[in-house]
Amino acid sequence: EVQVFESGGGLVQPGGSLKLSCAASGFAFSSYVMNWVRQTPGKGLEWVSAISAGGDIPYYADSVKGRFTISRDNAKTTLYLQMNSLRADDTAIYYCATSNLWGQGTLVAVSS
Amino acid sequence: DIQMTQSPSSLSASVGERVTITCQANQDIKKYLNWYQQKEGKAPKLLIYGASNLRTGVPSRFSGSGSGTDFSFTISSLQPDDIATYYCQHYHNLPLTFGGGTKVEIK
């Protein structure tokens, strides 16, 4: 079955860190650009980061640049998002996505 | 960044009625536009890519049109299963950006 499954979300204090993972299966993971997209009730859908198929070129939204790091392991067909210096406005559901395949999301809550 | 303006933000229509949503980009995005459907508590699902191409398996009552800066999405005959929020999203360049969404309800 073609799917992606996110994990690693949770409750973290402001300034803390979390690492999200996205396990992919059923498709040629190493051939696809992969994205992280987040969603909040107030701000809707926001693209966060992308990484080239080979993993050598990352891209970031200005809102997370310098704090988040995207990476991938094509041998393990897994995408990652290391999130540091988390802020309250990073609270959202984080989705791993290609254009036509999204996971179910993982909730990140930043609160003291 | 390319801004996507979607309207209306919500609508209520009867079963069988034709529904149209519009999306405007603030610069030319050619046909690099997706339309997504998101049901409550679920992830977005791609319905249309390239502004007008229906994804395999998506019912033919859904359609999209437009190019450049002005796009539209139509449900030709609204069904109860179509209750959802719909989003446009460009992929002309990075950052990808989304419209604000249109919540579709049954009258």
Alpha carbons B22 and B102: distance in angstroms, whole number = 9
Mean pLDDT (chain B, rounded): 97
pLDDT digits (tens, 9 = 90+) for B54-104: 999 999 999 999 999 999 999 999 999 999 999 999 999 999 999 999 999
Query: Is the model's pLDDT at A41 over the cut of 80?
Result: no
Q: How many residues does chain A have?
A: 112
Residue B33 near residue B46 (C-beta atoms within 8 A): no
Q: What is the pLDDT of residue A99?
A: 80
pLDDT digits (tens, 9 = 90+) for A48-85: 999 999 999 999 999 999 999 999 999 999 999 999 99
Partner-chain contact A47 B97, CB within 8 Å? yes
pLDDT band for position A43 (cuts 50, 70, 90): confident
Cα nearest neighbour of A45 on chain B? B98
Mean pLDDT (chain A, rounded): 96
pLDDT cut 70: percent of chain B above it: 100
Mutation target vs A (from B96, B97, B98, B102; most A CBs, 10 A cutoff) = B96
Q: Degrees (nearest 5) of the Cα angle A70, B6, B68?
A: 85
